[in-house]
Amino acid sequence: MTHTPLATPPHTAPRPYQSYTYAYPHKTAYRPLAPRPALKDLWAGESRGSLSLYVHIPFCEVRCGFCNLFTRIGAPDDLTGRYLDAVRRQAAAVRGALGDDEPPRFVNAAFGGGTPTFLKPRELEQLCDIAEHEMGADLRAVPLSVEASPSTATTDRLDVLAARGTTRLSLGVQSFIEEESRSAARPQRRSDVEAALARIREAGIPVLNIDLIYGIDGQTAASWRQSLDAALAWRPEEIYLYPLYVRPLTGLGRHADPLRAGRDWDEQRLRRYREGRDHLLSHGYEQVSMRMFRRADAPPQGPDDYACQTDGMIGLGCGARSYTSTLHYSFDYAVSMREIRGIIDDYTATEDFSHALHGRHVDEGEARRRHLLQSLLQAEGLLGADYRLRFGADPWDDFRAELDVLAARGWLRGDGDDLLRLSAEGLAHSDAIGPEFFSPAVRDAMAAYELK
């Protein structure tokens, strides 16, 4: 099937760093649900044969200056114990709502945050018990990914995770240069980072991921290469390269730097991205998305490394989302410490988890946008046959205007009549492309969201 783009005049490229489209619709488009639907009704018509499980732990020892994730610093007065008790109650309610007519089958699991390894070893055991005994996920039989920080990747914690079946450990390093770490309001010593990496390798977890950030104040091409080479020395199976964002209500966001608002910073980040991309490609890594690079000989992590963003996701914890085919739902969302503490306190005091509280309904049009975004923003691209099989329509018919714009900018590749793939520069501009496919309704909801 051949598609000829419409005659389109040249388009001015948007600024490259607008929004990381890791989920659609974005959580800022969620609203309180009225009435609050019962979970048993939400899941009544959903397939349970290929579910993803995500458990959110909203605690960190420090909060990085760039972080806008749902997490708080520290956990006084046995808060982690009360939080895990609430997760267990929520898991029991969700498992009951799923019923036994079609027992749920989990194909992957992830513990994120926050910092899941903030939990003590015995608490990590409890977390795994909840996933296995309450939800019925066999953690030793499916890919299990866990996020960690250098200071919490201790031997006793890693031993628990390895024994319980962890197949992937993601370490938030961000920079191996101590001055850059301080500049990003994430002070750490390189020796501590290296020691944590050694412990992870000794634990024998099959896949190590290292997160790095570019665009930090004071970072140069030379210092960026130094961080890249320090990461490569550990032969990690995966490396993620994240652009620095300065978002409202974060540590860096409270101290606005006008230099970070201009196109010079955009160009600086694009240069660091291209340098990092080319360096990793030259060392045998394959590009999976704008951010993700995987070593060519890395062991597979299951049929779909992005399954946590597909329909059929069950999220536990007050920062987790759950996805059915028609509703995405979660608890309330915030960035400021005061608001986050209040939401966590409310969560730990909750006894009845049988209803969805906040969310957004996903109609056919939004489902099409979601499918396109999840595919197009990956290096493999979108196969038209898959889209037609699911929706009975062609992506060019549904999104011709947006796709023509990408083609006019040179951001689409001509790899075949039925394959939509971004060019190298298209991938580089993923954070500009994603928002262009948001529906007007989602854009309006995100714009109306009141930051807190």
**Do 272 and 373 belong together in one domain?**
no
129, amino acid identity = D
Confidence bin at 424 (pLDDT 50/70/90): very high
d(CA 401, CA 331): 35
74: left (phi over 0), alpha (psi -120 to 50) or beta: left
d(CA 325, CA 43): 9
| Nearest partner of 196 among 148, 164, 131, 233, judged by Cα | 148
User: Is 265 in the same domain as 407?
Assistant: no
Rounded distance between C-alpha atoms, residue 56 and residue 19, angstroms: 22
The answer to whether position 352 is within a domain reads no
Give the angle subtended at the CA of 288 by the CAs of 172 and 378, to the nearest 5°. 115
The domain boundary, picked from 274, 309, 344, lies at: 309
* Type of residue at 354: S
With respect to residue 351, please indicate whether it lies within any of the assigned structural domains: no
Quick one: 88 and 200 in the same domain?
yes
CA 61 to chain centre: 20
Whole-angstrom distance, CA of residue 51 vs CA of residue 313:
6
> Is 74 domain-assigned?
yes
Per-residue confidence band for 356, with pLDDT thresholds at 50, 70 and 90: very high
Q: How many CA atoms lie within 13 A of 258 on its CB side?
A: 0
Q: 299 falls in which pLDDT band (50, 70, 90)?
A: confident
Best CA proximity match to 24, nearest among 315, 443, 450, 383: 443
- Provide the 3-class DSSP secondary structure of residue 332: coil
Same domain, residue pair 118 and 256: yes
How many CB atoms lie under 10 A from the CB of residue 34? 7
Name the domain count of the chain.
Answer: 2
**Predicted confidence (pLDDT) per residue in 79-112, tens digit:** 999 999 999 999 999 999 999 888 899 999 999 9
Hunting for tokens 């914890």 — which residue is that?
Answer: 317
Residue 119 within a domain? yes
- Residue 288 and residue 384 in one domain: no
Q: Which residues contact 3 (CB under 8 A, 6 or more apart)?
A: 394, 396, 417
- How far is Cα 349 from Cα 168, in angstroms, rounded to an integer? 32
Answer yes or no: is 319 within a domain: no
pTM exceeds 0.85: yes
Q: What order do you get walking across the sheet with 382-383 strand by strand?
A: 382-383, 419-422, 412-413
400 band by pLDDT with thresholds 50, 70 and 90: very high
| Dist CA 87 CA 211 (whole Å) | 27
Higher pLDDT, 18 or 417: 18
| Packed helices 263-282 and 221-232: angle between N→C axes, nearest 10 degrees | 30
263 shares a domain with 137: yes
Structure tokens at 335: 């960035």
Interval 166-225: pLDDT, tens: 999 999 999 999 999 988 878 899 999 999 999 999 999 999 999 999 999 899 999 999
Residue 160 pLDDT > 90? yes
As a whole number, mean pLDDT of residues 413-431 equals: 90
Are both 60 and 175 inside the same structural domain? yes
Q: 402: domain CATH number? A: 1.10.10.920
The answer to whether residue 288 is domain-embedded is yes
Q: Is residue 12 part of a domain?
A: no
State residue 1's pLDDT score: 47
Query: What whole-number distance in Å separates Cα of residue 322 and Cα of residue 308?
Result: 9
62 and 178 part of one domain: yes
Q: Of 309, 327, 352, which marks where a domain is finished?
A: 309
**What does the alpha-carbon distance between residue 152 and residue 175 come to, in Å, rounded to a whole number?**
17
Same domain, 108 and 179: yes
Same domain, 123 and 209: yes
Dump the DSSP string for 117-175.
Answer: GGS-HHHHHHHHHIIIIIT---TTTS-EEEEE-GGG--HHHHHHHHHTT--EEEEEEE-
- Closest listed residue to residue 89, CA positions, set 39, 32, 33: 39
- pLDDT range class, residue 5, cuts 50, 70, 90: very low
Average pLDDT of span 309-332: 90
| 297 shares a domain with 194 | yes
Query: Binning pLDDT at 50, 70 and 90, where does residue 427 land?
Result: very high
Residue 286 pLDDT more than 80? yes
Distances (CA, A) of 345 to 96, 254, 258, 341, 353: 24, 25, 36, 6, 15
The two structure tokens encoding residue 3: 């598609």
| Distance between CA atoms of residues 420 and 442, nearest Å | 24
Asked if 373 and 295 sit in the same domain, the reply is no
Strand intervals (E) in 288-402: 292-295, 313-316, 321-323, 327-330, 358-361, 382-383
Domain that holds residue 391: 364-444
Q: Confidence band (pLDDT; 50, 70, 90) for 303?
A: very low
Q: Is residue 153, in this structure, part of any structural domain at all?
A: yes
- Residue 279 belongs to domain with CATH number: 3.80.30.20
pLDDT, tens digit (0-9, with 9 covering 90-100), for 242-282: 999 877 666 666 666 655 667 888 999 999 999 999 999 99
Q: From CA 186, how far away is CA 179, in angstroms rounded? A: 10
Helix (H, G, I), strand (E, B) or coil at 246: coil
In the listed set 292, 309, 326, which residue is the last one of a domain according to the structure? 309
Cβ atoms of 114 and 69 within 8 Å: the answer is yes
pLDDT at position 141 over 60: yes
Contact 74, 62 (CB under 8 A): no
